[in-house]
Amino acid sequence: MKFFPARAGMSAVIALALATAAAAQALSQTQQTPAPPTSPQAAPSGKVIFSRSTDENGDVKTEVGPAAAASPQNAPEPLVEDADRLAVTITTMDLDVHLQSAAHQIAVRARMTVRNDGKAPLARIPLQLSSSLHWEQIRVAGRNTAFPVATLNSDSDHTGQLHEAEVQLAEPLAPGATVQLDGAYAGTIQQSAQRLVTIGTPEDMALHTDWDEIAPQFTGLRGFGNVVWYPVSSVPVILGDGARLFDEMGRHKLRNMQTRFSAQLTVEFPHGTPPTVALINGVPVALHVADAHGLDADLAGIATGSIQSAELGFEEPSIFVAVRKVHAGVNATAWTTPDNEVAHKFWLDAADHVSPFLQQWLGPRPHTTLTLLDLPDPADAPFETGALLATSLAEGPAEKLDGVMAHALTHAYTQTPPRPLPAWLNEGLATFMESAWVEKHRGRDQALGSLEASRSALALAEPSSPGQSAGTPLVAATAPIYYRTKAAYVLWMLRDMAGDEALSTALRTCVAKTDADTPCPIERLLKAPGSSQDLSWFFSDWVAADKGLPDLTIDGVFPKAETSGNFLVAVNVSNAGYAAAEVPVTVRTAMSAVTDRVLVPARGKAVQRILVMAQPTQVQVNDGTVPETQASVHVTDLGQTSSSAAPAGP
């Protein structure tokens, strides 16, 4: 499929399955932008499936060729059940994407392998797109098929609706079996605040949140949850229905972590304004630009690029194409609007500032350079995917930017081919490193306070007991409260139990790992040679299963005077929760404090005895590193009643 430059009123033909290189050869000059080099991948040759032309009135007409006899039929209502949608996994996706930026148009050929991960045979396969896009043709195993199209209400797209094609199969697809699909679709993508305005969000605020669009100066397509520009199979969800939208976004990413994705990109842009940066799935793509001097103003230029087949990881496919100016820094590159000649320095300085800290934890250098992409409007909501941070690169306080860069640069470390880190470790590690940076520069209480701000939400999400709910194991987490907040807590607890050196060594090994067959074996890595420490109970309760949060109580404190003014203090601790926890126990005197750790079993009790060299005045159990259902810090002033408190916030 390709765009041919054309004068106004003449045909602009889109021919599926033709090589994109032919478009560039129609122009006489080729230049390459300063994006990181990647090898371009030519689209395979084949038959013309359909062509599209624009008449003198600007109306678009589609002419179907002999290979595309099937056409979509509007369905009065959805014919697919959620069980069918949940059964579909797209294991490979190869997209030939063509953007006509001045007209806000996109046309795509999608070649996919679909697997039935359900328990029953599938007679039909649901494939969804944004309601601003329209299915043109779908083939199954090389043959045309009928596909009724229904409109679904779903806020996984910024329009608030999806177009769902019901791809009918000649024979049911057995569980575990796969089938090859080949589809073509097209339409326009402009900013839409529909889903947010519907729930009462002011339009201006909504547009700064849902800023996805195709335009000459900036194209941003964030993917499922923002704009569904590629085929998906999802359960319709509505904003305002609790956290279901965000859970469905996480479920969709988790289901497609091992999907192998490749894309060929062609951008038709207004003559004289070529894009200078393109990113697919957060990865910079080398653009080959054909925009000959001396051509008429109504002729378009062509830019092409591609990304090779790789696993998606815990990301949604995304496309960014923009006219920006490049600024290189340490481990980061900023692409700014032409008028942003000062503020980007603050961001690059922040990257330079936090890099030595990250090197201590994660290794000498990240796997890729962090890309900072300046959004069109300073009020636009930031977006992060992989090693890309799209945000307004405005001037800000150094301590704030440093924390943001510690988080974002961690993702540059964890972009590990050929298999990304597990989702909980990828996202949790970035949150952990951001809080560890805060600890280093603003103190432990401030760092733990940043986690405490989300602990109550985590406590609400967790099951009150395993008997009432199976919960969400961290290895299968789909909600941010698990794969960010709980995962960061897990890393804090591992740090306190195993020590900084052991955890940093394990993390460096995981980050550097290139073995595609096995995920990061962090549990085994944390058990150093000769160490008797057994963390299997911890990974069982906190990672492999979800047993809720512990619920600790100081049952009693019993100081006993010893010789030479020393005191032996026995601290009785009980756990009403279903998850075991190892927590710090601190006994304070007027002049000093002694801390030891105690493992409190699930639904059980423990006693910790600590020797201090003066009259004890206070006992504290937990310091906020272990999240609990209620407070995460318990204090008893000796001679007074027991009290509980949360760690201090920022």
142 CB neighbour count, 10 Å cutoff:
8
Tens-place pLDDT, residues 81-131: 999 999 999 999 999 999 999 999 999 999 999 999 999 999 999 999 999
Q: What is the CATH number of domain 326-414?
A: 3.30.2010.30
Contact 301, 27 (CB under 8 A): yes
User: What's the rounded Cα separation, in Å, for the pair 396 and 141?
Assistant: 54
In the chain, % of residues over pLDDT 90: 66
Beta bridge partners of 327: 334
Q: Which ranges in the chain are annotated with CATH 3.30.2010.30?
A: 326-414
- Residue 525 has what pLDDT? 85
pLDDT of 302 over the 50 cut:
yes
pLDDT of 646 over the 50 cut:
no
Task: Tokens for 340, please give them.
Answer: 């942003």
Q: Count, in order, helices (H) and strands (E) of the chain.
A: 14, 32
Contact 472, 478 (CB under 8 A): yes
pLDDT of 33 over the 60 cut:
no
Mean pLDDT, rounded, for 328-352: 90
- Residue 43 has what pLDDT? 38
- Start-to-end CA distance of the chain, whole Å, equals 54
Q: Which ranges in the chain are annotated with CATH 2.60.40.1730?
A: 21-323
- Coil/strand/helix, residue 108: strand
Q: What is the CATH number of domain 21-323?
A: 2.60.40.1730
Mean pLDDT, rounded, for 341-347: 87
- Residue 405 has what pLDDT? 95
- Residue 395 has what pLDDT? 80
Q: Which ranges in the chain are annotated with CATH 1.10.390?
A: 423-544
Residue 206's H or E segment, with its range, is helix 203-209
- Residue 85 has what pLDDT? 95
Of the listed ranges 327-336, 390-399, 561-570, the one predicted with least confidence: 390-399
pLDDT band at 627 (very low <50, low <70, confident <90, very high): very high
User: What's the rounded Cα separation, in Å, for the pair 275 and 257?
Assistant: 30
- Residue 76 has what pLDDT? 64
- Residue 481 has what pLDDT? 92
Contact 511, 414 (CB under 8 A): yes
In order of 74, 232, 638, the CA distances from 79 in angstroms are 11, 16, 68
User: In sequence order, what E strands does 213-331 have?
Assistant: 218-221, 260-270, 277-280, 283-284, 288-290, 300-311, 319-322, 325-328
| Pairing outcome for strands 88-100 and 260-270 | parallel
Tens-place pLDDT, residues 476-485: 898 899 999 9
CATH 2.60.40 for domain 552-645 = yes
Residue indicated by tokens 């001679």: 639
User: What's the rounded Cα separation, in Å, for the pair 123 and 141?
Assistant: 15
Tens-place pLDDT, residues 7-19: 333 233 333 232 3
CB hemisphere CA count around 346 (13 angstroms): 17
Contact 316, 257 (CB under 8 A): no
Tens-place pLDDT, residues 518-569: 667 888 888 755 556 789 999 999 999 999 999 999 999 999 998 888 999 9
| Pairing outcome for strands 148-153 and 73-74 | parallel
Residue 52's H or E segment, with its range, is strand 50-54
- Residue 94 has what pLDDT? 97
User: What's the rounded Cα separation, in Å, for the pair 414 and 361?
Assistant: 12
Helix locations, 443-512, DSSP H: 444-461, 480, 487-498, 500-512
- Coil/strand/helix, residue 137: strand
- Residue 50 has what pLDDT? 39
Who has greater pLDDT, 455 or 532?
A: 455
pLDDT of 3 over the 50 cut:
no
- Residue 463 has what pLDDT? 83
Q: What share of the chain is helix, strand, coil (3-state, %, to 5)?
A: 25, 35, 40
User: What's the rounded Cα separation, in Å, for the pair 583 and 505?
Assistant: 23
- Residue 42 has what pLDDT? 37
531 CB neighbour count, 10 Å cutoff:
11
- Residue 281 has what pLDDT? 94
Largest CA distance in the chain: 102
Burial of 80 from C-beta contacts in 10 A (0-12 / 13-18 / 19+): buried
Mean pLDDT, rounded, for 615-627: 95
User: What's the rounded Cα separation, in Å, for the pair 166 and 123?
Assistant: 10
Task: Tokens for 245, please give them.
Answer: 């939208």
Of the listed ranges 51-55, 88-92, 398-402, the one predicted with least confidence: 51-55
pLDDT of 570 over the 90 cut:
yes
Mean pLDDT, rounded, for 51-77: 48
Q: Which of 575, 537, 545, 544 is nearest to 466 (CA)?
A: 545
pLDDT band at 437 (very low <50, low <70, confident <90, very high): very high
Beta bridge partners of 301: 269
Average pLDDT, the chain: 84
Mean pLDDT, rounded, for 627-640: 87
- Residue 528 has what pLDDT? 59
CATH 3.30.379 for domain 423-544 = no
pLDDT of 30 over the 60 cut:
no
Q: What are phi and psi of 527, to 5 degrees?
A: -95, 95
Helix locations, 396-443, DSSP H: 398-414, 423-442
CB contact burial 41-54 (16+ within 10 A = b; e otherwise):
bebeeeebbbbbeb
- Residue 533 has what pLDDT? 74
User: What's the rounded Cα separation, in Å, for the pair 3 and 43?
Assistant: 13
Nearest-10 crossing angle of helices 444-461, 487-498: 130
CB contact burial 547-559 (16+ within 10 A = b; e otherwise):
bbbbbbbbeebeb
pLDDT band at 410 (very low <50, low <70, confident <90, very high): very high
- Residue 40 has what pLDDT? 37
Cis omega (within 30 of 0) for bond into 34 = no
Who has greater pLDDT, 464 or 117?
A: 117
Task: Tokens for 100, please give them.
Answer: 């006509």
Mean pLDDT, rounded, for 397-407: 89
Q: How much is the pTM?
A: 0.84
- Residue 527 has what pLDDT? 75
Burial of 74 from C-beta contacts in 10 A (0-12 / 13-18 / 19+): exposed
Q: Which of 22-26, 54-58, 97-101 has the highest mean pLDDT?
A: 97-101
Mean pLDDT, rounded, for 345-361: 94
- Residue 419 has what pLDDT? 63
pLDDT of 27 over the 80 cut:
no
**What one-letter code names the amino acid at 339?**
D
67 CB neighbour count, 10 Å cutoff:
17
